[in-house]
Amino acid sequence: MADLILHHYQGSLFSEKIRAIFGFKGLTWHSVEIPPIMPRPLLMPLTGGYRRTPVLQVGADIFCDTHVITEFLEDLHPQPPLHPDTLGWAVRTLTAHADGHLFRVVVALCFQPKAAAATLGTLGEDMANRFAADRAELVKGAQGLATLPPDVAEVELADLLGRFEAQLAVTRWACGGMPSLADFALYHCLWLVQNNPVVHELLLPYARTREWMQRLAGFGHGVRKEMSAEDALAAAREAEPMALEIASGHLPEGVAQGDTVSVTPTDYGLIPVTGTLDYCTSHACAVLREDDEAGRVRVHFPRTGFRIDPA
């Protein structure tokens, strides 16, 4: 098996989820730092245009979106488990809620004008303006991603944390006696709040939650080795997609395995990735692409949150 290569940047909350899972599973991985904004000329040949962060690379296989990344990591390194046997459905459901609704709540809090200024001010005026323009482009045409008013978001966060605090009085982790993917999904959202100097005080009344965050942070980030984007691109070019035996099913109407298709997020970052449909299940899909710089690569996506269309 080729090395794990994570394309990420430090302030990305979804990247923090994967970095923390690396720590939980005790994994060694290679870190490719990407710019927080476009262009990313050495990453786009790998993804075919997908621009959300992070991206996991294993040789010539490229995994887009943390849902498909975590499923792959669990198959590759099942111990300790992210989905304990008796809690798989509950863990995935809570994870989806955190990655969806709680994400919207914390973005509304951390990117309201007073909080965004505190974070973006460290970038300098030019980069802050470019960052704002980049994010406006990212959400262009997005459906169902309307920003919550900060006062509404603050109440919703208090509601969630109050209930979570009560649960942590009787359980050590989000779904009971052991850590699970749900913990990491909740954690990376609250990590964004914790690291914002304006809104971090919203966590202060919740001592058990803060202790739980310290326990998760204590897993660390595994063994991180730095890698250049050029070397990561070369690793894809010099490899072939891994051998897979996946029975396809749940194909969209009018689409067959081997067709040329596009795969596009349904919420934001609505940039299609085009290639030959390699496999398709109810959970995930992948396209094969040929690129002058990256060579032959396979790009994987979850089915939930993405659509497949004939190209």
Within this chain, do residues 65 and 47 fall inside the same structural domain, yes or no?
yes
**pTM (2 d.p.):** 0.95
Q: So what's the pLDDT on residue 124? A: 65
Whether residues 49 and 108 share a domain: the answer is no
Q: What is the pLDDT of residues 16-64, one digit of tens each?
A: 999 999 999 999 999 999 999 999 999 999 999 999 999 999 999 999 9
Tell whether 66 and 95 lie within a shared domain.
no
The number of folded domains in the chain is 2
* Structural domain of 128: 87-217
**Same domain assignment for residues 91 and 73:** no
Of 196, 217, 238, the residue that ends a domain is 217
The model's confidence at residue 138, banded by pLDDT at 50, 70 and 90, is confident
pLDDT tens column, 208-256: 999 999 999 999 999 999 999 999 999 999 999 999 989 999 999 999 9
Considering the domain architecture, whether residues 169 and 245 belong to the same structural domain is answered as: no
DSSP track, 116-174: HHHHHGGG-HHHHHHHHHHHHHHTTT-SS-PPPPHHHHHHHHHHHHHHHHHHTTT-SBT
The per-residue pLDDT for 125 is 67
Residues 102 and 208 in one domain: yes
Q: Which of 217, 249, 268 is the last residue of a domain?
A: 217
Q: ∠ CA(94), CA(100), CA(101), 5° rounding?
A: 90
Residues 191-207 have pLDDT tens digits of 999 999 999 999 999 99
The pLDDT, as a whole number, for residue 130 is 83
Per-residue confidence (pLDDT) for residue 166, from 0 to 100: 97
Pair (96, 172) in one structural domain: yes
Same domain, 29 and 43: yes
Q: Can you tell me the mean pLDDT for 282-291?
A: 98
| Final residue belonging to a domain, choices 183, 217, 251 | 217
